[in-house]
Amino acid sequence: MKKFGCFKISCITYYECLRGYKASGATTRLKLFQDFLQITEVIYLDKAILEKAGEIYGVMKNKGLLTGELDLLIGTTAIVNHLKMVTNNEKHYQNLKPHFNLEIENWMTKNVR
């Protein structure tokens, strides 16, 4: 993991992972996630993120390009903190990409031939 540097995740991502692993009884994945959290910074929602999310929501709604509320908060967390968004669920963030300078990378498909 050292080659990737410091990991940071949104508190929303933290919640989504926990609820999914616990609801499905995925104890091995939950343990791996808990181990991952030992080297990961969790970014909690703050006023700057919420203010920006409100702004983004307004712009996106007026353009007819709404996304899910949790995805909006996760994407906004990356935008406000000037972080690259690493996800295998790129389509949920595509509307944020061109309008709000969200950089997205998918490690699952990066080296696929």
pLDDT at 69: 93
Q: Where are the domains of the chain?
A: 1-44, 45-113
Residue pair 67/60 in contact (Cβ under 8 Å)? The answer is yes
Please name which of 10, 5, 4, 2 lies closest in space to residue 85, comparing C-alpha atoms.
10
For 45-113, which CATH class? alpha beta
Kindly give the confidence (pLDDT) of every residue in the chain, 113 residues in length, as a single tens digit, with 9 standing for 90 and above. Answer: 455 567 899 999 999 999 999 999 999 999 999 999 999 999 999 999 999 999 999 999 999 988 889 999 999 999 999 999 888 888 888 888 777 888 888 877 765 54
pLDDT at 65: 87
pLDDT at 17: 95
Please state the pTM of the whole predicted model. 0.84
DSSP bridge partners of 7 = 40
